[in-house]
Amino acid sequence: MVEVTVTPQSSLADRRVQVRVRGLSPSQLVTLRAWLKDEHGECFQSRAFFRADGSGEVDPGNQAALGGSYSGVWPMGLFWFLQPDKLFRRLVKRDVAGSPFQVRLEVFDGLCLGTEPQEQPLASCEAERWYVGPGVQRVPIREGRVRGALFLPP
């Protein structure tokens, strides 16, 4: 049975996570896809092609992507190379304290090139990417023409 995991499942957006796929056939060619919908409902996604190792595992932190949104060894490549489905959109998190980005990770058999895969994933999981840690206080700043926010640690 194929399984994709992200460890830790919930983390701050600037923290490294480990993505692993297990249960594949040795040397099986797969597509890893990461996608999310922003607060406006716009879809952002990335994908990378990998060949499973001799034990049927894929670890983007140690194995080079063969192509897709990036190539080479990029442990956080699926998160860093998220691109909008519609041109000229930017991935911006407005509600940084209230909710995380929910990033869905999926693994597909073979090369999956379309923006909307036609087949069911072999496995999937979700990762929460928070922009403010627990207990951090957000203080709005309005002084003259200056606008901003001060984030105070607990």
> Strands 29-37, 18-22: parallel, antiparallel or unpaired by DSSP?
unpaired
- Is the pLDDT at 116 greater than 90, yes or no? no
Could you tell me which of 63, 132, 64 has the C-alpha nearest to residue 97?
132
Average pLDDT over residues 87-111: 92
- Which pLDDT does position 117 carry in this prediction? 73
In the chain, what's the furthest Cα-to-Cα distance? 63
- What global pTM score does this model have? 0.88
45 CB-near residues (< 8 Å, 6+ apart) = 33, 34, 35, 36, 82, 83, 85, 115
Q: Which domain holds residue 128?
A: 3-152
CATH number at residue 125: 2.60.40.2240
pLDDT per residue over 26-64, tens digit each?
999 999 999 999 999 999 999 999 999 999 999 999 999
- 84-90 mean pLDDT: 92
Tell me the torsion sign for CA atoms 65, 47, 123, 129: positive
Confidence of residue 97 (pLDDT cuts 50, 70, 90): confident
Per-residue pLDDT tens over the stretch 128-142: 999 999 999 999 999
8 upstream amide cis, omega within 30 of 0: yes
Structural domain total, the chain: 1
